[in-house]
Amino acid sequence: GGPASLSRFRGALVAAVLGDCVGGEFEGAEEVPMESVLQHLNSLDDETKGNGILEYSDDTAMARCVVQSLLTRAGFDERDMAHRFAKEYSASPGRGYGSGVIQVLKKLSSPQLSDVYQPARDQFNGRGSFGNGGAMRAAPFALAFPDPADVKRFARLGAMLTHSCSLGYNGAVLQALAVHLSLQGALDLPQQFISRLITEMEEVESNEAARNDARILKEAEKPFCERLHRVRDLMDRSKVSIEEVISELGNGIAALHSVPTAIFCVLHCLQPWECLPENYGGLERTIAYSLALGGDTDTIACMAAAIAGAHYGIEAIPQSWIRCCEGAEDADINAERLHMLYHQS
Ligand code: 8NA
Ligand code: MG
Ligand code: MG
User: pLDDT, tens digit, for every residue of 128-174?
Assistant: 999 999 999 999 999 999 999 999 999 999 999 999 999 999 999 99
Read off the pLDDT of residues 210-222 as tens digits, 9 standing for 90 and up: 999 999 999 999 9
Distance, CA of 241 to CA of 246 (rounded, Å): 9
Question: Which atom of ligand 1 lies nearest, measured to the CA of 162?
Answer: 2
On whether the CB atoms of residues 26 and 291 are closer than 8 A, the answer is: yes
Residue 295 — left, alpha, or beta (φ > 0 → left; ψ -120 to 50 → alpha)?
left
Read off the pLDDT of residues 237-268 as tens digits, 9 standing for 90 and up: 989 999 999 999 999 999 999 999 999 999 99
- The residue whose CA has the least distance to atom 4 of ligand 1 is 131
Question: Which atom of ligand 1 lies nearest, measured to the CA of 163?
Answer: 2
* pLDDT at residue 46 in the model: 78
Among 88, 129, 130, the mutation site with the greatest number of ligand 1 atoms within 8 A of its Cβ is 129
> Which ligand is nearest to the Cα of residue 131, counting in written order?
1
ipTM of the complex: 0.96
CA of 172 to the centre of ligand 3 (A): 14
Closest among 285, 264, 278 to 187, alpha carbons compared = 264
- Which amino acid does the sequence have at 83? H
Read off the pLDDT of residues 30-55 as tens digits, 9 standing for 90 and up: 999 999 999 999 999 876 565 679 99
pLDDT tops 90 at residue 329: yes
User: Quick check: CB of 253 below 6 Å from ligand 1?
Assistant: yes
> Which ligand is nearest to the Cα of residue 301, counting in written order?
3
pLDDT tops 80 at residue 325: yes
- The residue whose CA has the least distance to atom 16 of ligand 1 is 129
* pLDDT at residue 48 in the model: 57
Determine what percent of the chain is predicted with pLDDT higher than 90: 95
* pLDDT at residue 238 in the model: 86
What 8-state DSSP symbol labels residue 337?
H
Helix (H, G, I), strand (E, B) or coil at 325: strand
Confidence of residue 97 (pLDDT cuts 50, 70, 90): very high
* pLDDT at residue 159 in the model: 99
* pLDDT at residue 47 in the model: 64
Read off the pLDDT of residues 295-321 as tens digits, 9 standing for 90 and up: 999 999 999 999 999 999 999 999 999
* pLDDT at residue 301 in the model: 98
Residue 250 — left, alpha, or beta (φ > 0 → left; ψ -120 to 50 → alpha)?
left
pLDDT tops 60 at residue 22: yes
Closest among 341, 345, 287, 343 to 68, alpha carbons compared = 341
Q: What is the DSSP string of 111-175?
A: TT-S-TTHHHHTHHHHT---BTTTGGG-HHHHHH-SSHHHHHHHHHHHHHTT--SHHHHHHHHHH
User: Quick check: CB of 213 below 6 Å from ligand 1?
Assistant: no
Question: Which atom of ligand 1 lies nearest, measured to the CA of 28?
Answer: 40
User: Quick check: CB of 303 below 6 Å from ligand 1?
Assistant: no
pTM of the model: 0.98
